Structure 1
Amino acid sequence: MNVALWIAAGLLAAVALVGGAVKVAIPKAKLAAQRGGEWTQGISAGSIKAIGALEVLAAFGLVLPRLLDIAPVMVPVTAVCWMALMVGATTLHGRLGQGKLAMVTAAYFGLAVFVAVGRF
């Protein structure tokens, strides 16, 4: 079970790190021009950067506390926060008619539930 939790947390951390880095590093106009970038409409550039920064922090919070054995309770807390972020992402993609992206974010939500329950 521990190995499965590490794999799930590592996968979520990789997704969070890449997704967050993209949001922080790429300007809003370029994100909007990408396929599936319609979600950026109506969201300020600062909000996009803030979401990206939260995702980067989540990437570290999903693995480092347990890895370093410093406040390991932060892993499930981070997973719960990631769940909240994925509820928003799933809702947004669903409203935009992006069913595939909504399903992907729902799957990330499920992985976060697994990590949160397994680590609490």
Structure 2
Amino acid sequence: MEIAYWIVAGLLAVFYLYAGGKKVVQSQQQLLPMMGWVDTVPMPLVRTIGVLEVLGAVGLILPPLTDIAPALAVAAAVGLVLIQVGGIVVHVRRGEARLIGLNIGLLVAAAAAAWLGTTWL
């Protein structure tokens, strides 16, 4: 179970560091081609989502790696699940239900990380 956690958490961390980092540092115009929803959401909220994604990525890896409050990894995974629930809601409201495949995949992976984290932490 521990190896499965590290694989899932590592993949999620890489994804969220990249996606969250882009949201934190890039302008709305730079984000728009890849994330069409940023034109309807205030940029401070986009930046906040980016920061939460980066913190979630760090939370998946750092606590179990250092063995300092490893239960925070489960909290980070649950937070990433909630971010994806929000993403699905945004896409459905915008009439983009066809785009929720990635959100569902990330939601399932984050839920798996939360479950795997509870089995060995």
CA distance in 2, matches of 1:90, 1:114: 18
Let me know the Cα RMSD of the aligned residues: 1.3
Correspondence list, 1:1-120, <5 A: 1-32=1-32, 34-35=33-34, 37-120=35-118
Measured in 1, the distance between the counterparts of 2:42 and 2:29 equals 11
Mapped partners of 1:84, 1:75: distance in 2: 14
TM-aligned CA deviation for residue 115 of structure 1:
1.0
Gaps of 5+ in 1: none
Q: What's the offset of the Cα at 1:52?
A: 0.7
After TM superposition, give the deviation of residue 38 of structure 1 in Å.
1.9
Indicate conservation of the 8 Å contact 1:89/1:105, yes or no. Answer: yes
3-state SS, counterpart of residue 70 of structure 1: coil
TM-score w.r.t. length of structure 2: 0.90
TM-score (norm 1): 0.91
Q: Write out per-residue CA displacement over residues 19-59 of structure 1, whole angstroms, 9 at most, x where no aligned residue.
A: 01100111012212x14x32112211111111111111111
Q: Is the 8 A contact 2:4 2:116 kept in 1?
A: no
Partner Cα separation in structure 2 for residue 88 and residue 23 of structure 1: 16
5+ residue gaps, structure 2, are none
Q: Percent of counterpart pairs with the same letter?
A: 35
Deviations 1:65-116 (A, max 9, x none): 0001000000011101110001011221233343453111111110111111
Query: Equivalents in 2 of 1:98, 1:11: separation in Å?
Result: 25
Paired residue total: 118
Amino acid at match of 1:19: A
Name segments (4+ residues, structure 1) moved above 6 Å: none
